[in-house]
Amino acid sequence: MRLANLVWLVPAVSLLLGGCGDKVAQNEMIQPTAFHSDDECHVCGMVITRFPGPKGQALDAAAQQVRKFCSASEMLSWWMQPENRQANLTLYVHDMGKSQWDKPDDAHLIPAAQAFYVPAPDLPGAMGLSLGSFSDKQAAQQFADAQHSEVLSLDEVVARLSAAPVAAHHGHH
């Protein structure tokens, strides 16, 4: 190859690789973040940390945006809206197998699509049905047994929320 051709080849390859790097950076997954005392729920505006039970986050990598929710069921109800289902979002919930109900640990946020869910209507929470979320099916089953409930997949929770009357409530006790 002639030197003159190499002079043009190096910048061309650099441009191509540079463009790929920008594309990768744009599509890079953003990570869930900690909940802070001044965070408000994306839907209802309540201060999230004032309520017990697992919370939720919807991450939009394209917009580099994290939406936070006062409860897992509030997030899932929001996500079920057609415009939100079409967005390329990654949902996260607290792993209650590694957290206390009264103060979920933000170090244990898990992908909502992989979680096991347990309806827990007798436990206090924020908006909607109190819904325990777990990364481990055995932990979810133990919690379900204690709550006289059952273990559900994300699809099963969505189906039940779709069938339920719209009756969100604050501070369920």
Same structural domain, 144 and 94 = yes
Same structural domain, 17 and 87 = no
Same structural domain, 19 and 78 = no
Same structural domain, 140 and 61 = yes
Question: What string of DSSP letters covers 78-102?
Answer: HHTSHHHHHS-EEEEEE-TTSSBTT
* Lowest-confidence segment of 86-90, 94-98, 109-113 by average pLDDT: 86-90
β-strand pairing of 89-94 with 56-60? antiparallel
Q: CA-based Rg of the chain, rounded to a whole angstrom?
A: 21
Is 67 contained in some domain?
A: yes
Is 119 contained in some domain?
A: yes
pLDDT of residue 20: 46
Same structural domain, 9 and 59 = no
Say how many domains are in the chain.
Answer: 2
* Lowest-confidence segment of 35-39, 50-54, 58-62, 162-166 by average pLDDT: 162-166
Same structural domain, 122 and 88 = yes
First to last CA, the chain: 77
Same structural domain, 1 and 53 = no
* Residue 61, domain extent: 48-163
Is 151 contained in some domain?
A: yes
Structure confidence at residue 26 as a pLDDT band (50, 70, 90): very low
Q: pLDDT tens-digit profile of 97-115?
A: 999 999 999 999 999 999 9
What are the tokens at 148? Answer: 């006289």
Same structural domain, 59 and 19 = no
What are the tokens at 158? Answer: 């969505």
Is 41 contained in some domain?
A: no
Same structural domain, 139 and 72 = yes
Q: pLDDT tens-digit profile of 154-171?
A: 999 999 888 876 544 444
